[in-house]
């Protein structure tokens, strides 16, 4: 049996949910007129693929061959001259690992040389690219720069907390997806979706004028007079 109390609670719950705040979320997809859609969760855009490509990258390779890890793989005439003897043929990552807990000056020096190598290479990329290649190239540069800055701040412990570090890494992965999808011929598509934001709040109190079913039954029992049997 549906009581007035139950109706009231259902109404109050409905009104309560209507008052909950909402938040706009971005739904990202990658589309192509020729190939249809590319799921953002595709293995081609995954974190594992990103790491594999960076590990296999060579700084001297043409940018069209994929992303480059300037932070760990830089090795040029400047590093050979600047790195200590017997370490001068190492990559920036190998040299940094050698001095990481020993000499912060050498770590910073390696980072500066890597950043300079990346900046110079990015300028050369632009000069040697065609207008049609620029959109993909710009996304590649944005990813490589974000990847470099993330590792630099992480190794020098410049993130204020783990959440800030996690957010920065998420941005790196998203920039990789944007670049990779573009290099495969897909365009990024972003849709806004309004979603109700769930907030833990106390349950609305029931109106004090409304008695519960149990209270009503108790009152009815108290109001009834006990019947007495008549003796003959």
If you write DSSP's letter for every residue of 117-140 in order, what string do you get?
HHHHHHHHHHHTS-TTTHHHHHHH
The tokens of 194 are what?
């309004």
Q: Give the model's pLDDT for residue 4.
A: 64
Q: Give the model's pLDDT for residue 22.
A: 57
Check pLDDT > 80 for residue 192.
no
Tally the residues of the chain.
232
Q: Give the model's pLDDT for residue 231.
A: 44
pLDDT in tens, 53-85: 999 888 877 899 999 999 999 999 999 999 988
The DSSP H or E segment spanning 197 is none
Check pLDDT > 80 for residue 211.
no
User: CA Rg, the chain, in Å?
Assistant: 32
Q: Give the domain range for residue 188.
A: 27-196
SS3 208: coil
**Cβ neighbours of residue 207 under 8 Å, at least 6 residues apart?**
8
SS3 172: helix
Check pLDDT > 60 for residue 194.
yes
d(CA 9, CA 204): 9
Residues 120, 178 within the same domain:
yes
Residue at token pair 């009503």: 216
Q: How many domains does the chain have?
A: 2
Question: For residues 138 and 80, is the Cβ–Cβ distance under 8 A?
Answer: no
Residues 185, 209 within the same domain:
no
Q: Give the model's pLDDT for residue 229.
A: 46
Q: According to DSSP H, which parts of 21-133 are helical?
A: 47-56, 70-73, 77-82, 92-99, 104-127
pLDDT in tens, 84-105: 888 989 999 999 999 988 998 9
pLDDT band at residue 230 using 50, 70 and 90 as cut-offs: very low
pLDDT in tens, 104-146: 899 999 999 999 999 999 999 999 999 999 999 999 999 999 9
d(CA 175, CA 143): 5
Q: Give the model's pLDDT for residue 108.
A: 92
Asked whether residue 228 is assigned to any structural domain, the reply reads no
d(CA 224, CA 27): 64
pLDDT in tens, 12-64: 655 555 555 655 567 888 998 787 899 889 999 999 999 999 998 888 778 99
Residues 146, 67 within the same domain:
yes
Tell whether the torsion through CA atoms of 51, 55, 58 and 59 is positive or negative.
Answer: positive
Residues 203, 139 within the same domain:
no
Residues 187, 81 within the same domain:
yes
Backbone φ, ψ for residue 100 (5° rounding): -55, -50
pLDDT band at residue 8 using 50, 70 and 90 as cut-offs: low
Residues 115, 90 within the same domain:
yes
Q: Give the model's pLDDT for residue 126.
A: 96
Residues 143, 204 within the same domain:
no
Residues 69, 170 within the same domain:
yes
Q: Give the model's pLDDT for residue 61.
A: 76
Distance of alpha carbon 53 from the chain centroid: 20
pTM of the complete model: 0.72
Residues 75, 177 within the same domain:
yes
**Cβ neighbours of residue 230 under 8 Å, at least 6 residues apart?**
none
User: Which tops the pLDDT comparison, 112 or 210?
Assistant: 112
d(CA 141, CA 136): 9
pLDDT in tens, 154-169: 998 999 999 999 999 9
Residues 72, 173 within the same domain:
yes
Tell whether the torsion through CA atoms of 145, 131, 177 and 67 is positive or negative.
Answer: negative
d(CA 98, CA 86): 12
């Amino acid at each position: 049996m549906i009581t007035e109390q139950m109706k009231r609670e259902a109404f109050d719950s409905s009104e309560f949910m209507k008052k909950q705040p909402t938040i706009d979320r971005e739904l990202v997809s990658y589309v192509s007129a020729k190939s249809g859609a590319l799921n953002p969760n595709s293995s081609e855009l995954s974190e594992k693929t990103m790491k594999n490509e960076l590990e296999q990258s060579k700084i001297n390779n043409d940018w069209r061959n994929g992303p480059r890890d300037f932070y760990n793989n830089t090795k040029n005439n400047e590093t050979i001259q600047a790195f200590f003897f017997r370490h001068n043929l190492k990559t920036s990552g190998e040299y940094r690992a050698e001095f990481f807990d020993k000499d912060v000056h050498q770590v910073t020096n390696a980072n500066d040389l890597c950043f300079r190598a990346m900046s110079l290479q990015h300028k050369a990329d632009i000069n040697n690219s065609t207008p049609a290649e620029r959109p993909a190239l710009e996304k590649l540069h944005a990813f490589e720069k974000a990847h470099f800055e993330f590792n630099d701040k992480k190794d020098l412990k410049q993130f204020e907390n783990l959440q800030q570090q996690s957010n920065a890494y998420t941005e790196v992965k998203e920039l990789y997806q944007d670049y990779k999808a573009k290099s495969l011929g897909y365009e990024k598509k972003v849709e806004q979706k309004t979603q109700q934001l769930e907030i833990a709040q106390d349950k609305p109190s029931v109106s004090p004028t409304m008695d519960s079913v149990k209270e009503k039954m108790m009152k009815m029992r108290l109001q009834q007079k006990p019947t007495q049997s008549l003796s003959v």
